Structure 1
Amino acid sequence: MAHAELTRPEGAASDWTIPQRWDAYTPQEHATWDALFARQARMLPGRTAPEFLQGLDVLRLSKPGIPDFEELSDRLMKATGWQVVAVPGLVPDDVFFDHLANRRFVAGNFIRRPDQLDYLQEPDVFHDVFGHVPLLADPVFADYMQAYGEGGRRAAALGVIDRLARLYWYTVEFGLVRSGEGLRLYGAGIVSSFTESVFALEDPSPNRIGFDLKRLMRTKYRIDDFQQNYFVIDSFEQLLDQTLNTDFGPLYTELDGQSDIEIEAILPTDRVFTYGTQAYARAKMPA
């Protein structure tokens, strides 16, 4: 997700893009990508949405290691009209939304160290590309991401980005989807993480709650640990429909008069798939 108060690094274009410089990656950096890719590709079948697994093919390019964004963008453009552009890290909100609205996905061009395979606070090229790009090859999800970018530009003008950020967090980053075989992962923050891929779907601790736009946009979230609430969409078509056919202006006004919902809360109106034990959250609390 974007960040509002940043200074454009020297050498970055006005839209914050930079050359990827694929030739500058070291053999160790390519090996880190390959290790992460192989680990996730082995464990995600049966856990993730079929659209994500189908989209993984767009990442299997002619060169080994970290994808070359130019070749990757050529394949994406043919599939859904999207491209991937390199940025030095987090970008301001207005830049982020403008890229999405124009079907450009921003991706950091650096990769984590080998000792950071399981956790990295700032998103790197593996999170951005492995986590996000496969679903950009799906036409419905690709349209949702563009619609989100357009909505983000309107939210910025109204000064309500924080509300809309929750939609991104609980769908694009940490969303679950129903399937004929049960719940499946699709959020990039989950599918790019070995440990959260297991926790989000199989651990008894978190709540898993049916998607409700108003409820979700009132719900706090945490950026430094596993989620304690995961929201479950019925389909990507539902997500796109809600985004395109909701008048967000009156919704923001309505939400402005309502209190936030705590992260682990269950409401009487919730459609609950799993009542979490909250054991993980309690174990992390100070004695």
Structure 2
Amino acid sequence: MAEAQNERPSGTAADWTIPQDWARYTAVEHATWDKLFARQSAMLPSRVAPEFIAGLDILRLSRPGIPDFAELSERLMAATGWQVVAVPGLVPEDVFFDHLANRRFVAGRFIRTPEQLDYLQEPDIFHDVFGHVPLLANPVFADYMQAYGQGGQRAAGMGMIDKLARLYWYTVEFGLIRSDAGLRLYGAGIVSSYGESVFALDDPSPNRLGFDLKRLMRTKYRIDDYQQNYFVIDSFKDLLRQTLETDFGPLYEALEEEPDIEIETILPTDKVYTRGTQAYFRDRGTPGNV
């Protein structure tokens, strides 16, 4: 989750949505989507959670060109009761949580330029739709996203958004999942990035640690580069179960009493899949922690 503007732009609805205006996309923009899609879909099958691949098929995202949100939402609604709505950019936290709590996923409608294929600071339609939406066709993950939105509404009233944001970051955006075949990707920030799709599983630099809700919510994260830590869940069912069964009130009280954990730290209580060398990050410096 990133910082958003708080003044609603002109031309947006009260909930910050705007028409996607699919007909306005140019041939170059559709070609950019197709190039990004082809590159990711060719390298992900052996790396990504199978639920993601199933979502691509259910939603027919392999069809050429930028998806039309109306058609996409029709298929998604039939699968899990979710829909995709267009917004002008990053939206305020309360708006974001309200949409998630009501099974609406907000997506930017612009797409990066051909010169920006490998990096873009603000999430575009490829990150939002290719990265996030396939897993929303999975009933368990769809329920987790709704639960997160409802939790965000409660956290806002307790002044704990920054702690809860770490849960979103380390699961929805940059999560890994355990499988019989080894670790697999599922976070949208990884699966929509060619470079990080390789780095997150293959590079010796980052730590790969077992998911622990409280520990994760104490842990800082990077906003400017690949991640120094990836947290590994056992399953989507277990992630949803822990989210629904946790009383976040006492958890937030405990978090207020404990210091943040620096990114590269490995605790004695951690389940360690990979003890990273951190070499990549030492070479580049480590600004940008949140």
Alpha-carbon shift at residue 7 of structure 1 (Å): 1.4
CA contact (8 A) 1:20 1:69 kept: yes
Alpha-carbon shift at residue 3 of structure 1 (Å): 3.2
| Residue of structure 2 in register with 1:277 after alignment | 277
User: What is the identity percentage for the equivalent residue pairs of Structure 1 and Structure 2?
Assistant: 78
- Per the normalisation by structure 1, the TM-score is 0.98
Q: What is the CA–CA distance in structure 1 between the aligned matches of 2:102 and 2:79, rounded to whole Å?
A: 15
| Residue of structure 1 in register with 2:9 after alignment | 9
Q: Could you list the runs of 5+ residues in structure 1 that have no partner in the other structure? A: none
Post-superposition Cα deviations, 1:238-269, rounded to whole Å, max 9, x if no partner, equal 11001100000110000001000001110000
Q: What is the CA–CA distance in structure 2 between the aligned matches of 1:23 and 1:272, rounded to whole Å?
A: 49
- Tell me whether 1:57 sits opposite 2:57 in the alignment: yes
Alpha-carbon shift at residue 60 of structure 1 (Å): 2.4
Alpha-carbon shift at residue 4 of structure 1 (Å): 5.3
Alpha-carbon shift at residue 55 of structure 1 (Å): 0.6
Q: Could you list the runs of 5+ residues in structure 2 that have no partner in the other structure? A: none
Q: 3-state DSSP class of the match of 2:177? A: strand
- Tell me whether 1:255 sits opposite 2:255 in the alignment: yes
Alignment of 1:71-110 (within 5 A): 71-110=71-110
- Per the normalisation by structure 2, the TM-score is 0.97
- Tell me whether 1:222 sits opposite 2:229 in the alignment: no
Q: What is the CA–CA distance in structure 1 between the aligned matches of 2:254 and 2:62, rounded to whole Å?
A: 50
CA, structure 1 residues 4+285, in 2 after alignment: closer, same or farther (shift >3 Å)? closer
Alpha-carbon shift at residue 285 of structure 1 (Å): 2.5
Alpha-carbon shift at residue 6 of structure 1 (Å): 2.0
Q: CA RMSD in A?
A: 1.2
Alignment of 1:39-50 (within 5 A): 39-50=39-50
Alignment of 1:91-170 (within 5 A): 91-170=91-170
Q: What is the CA–CA distance in structure 2 between the aligned matches of 1:18 and 1:259, rounded to whole Å?
A: 41
Q: What is the CA–CA distance in structure 2 between the aligned matches of 1:40 and 1:64, rounded to whole Å?
A: 14
Post-superposition Cα deviations, 1:36-83, rounded to whole Å, max 9, x if no partner, equal 000000000110000001111144259631000000000000000000
Q: 3-state DSSP class of the match of 1:110? A: coil
CA contact (8 A) 2:29 2:111 kept: yes
| Residue of structure 2 in register with 1:265 after alignment | 265
Q: What is the CA–CA distance in structure 2 between the aligned matches of 1:61 and 1:202, rounded to whole Å?
A: 27
Post-superposition Cα deviations, 1:121-158, rounded to whole Å, max 9, x if no partner, equal 00000000000000000000000000000000000011
Q: What is the CA–CA distance in structure 1 between the aligned matches of 2:2 and 2:58, rounded to whole Å?
A: 25
CA contact (8 A) 2:59 2:76 kept: no
Task: Give the number of equivalent residue pairs.
Answer: 286
CA contact (8 A) 1:2 1:96 kept: no
Q: What is the CA–CA distance in structure 2 between the aligned matches of 1:63 and 1:209, rounded to whole Å?
A: 36
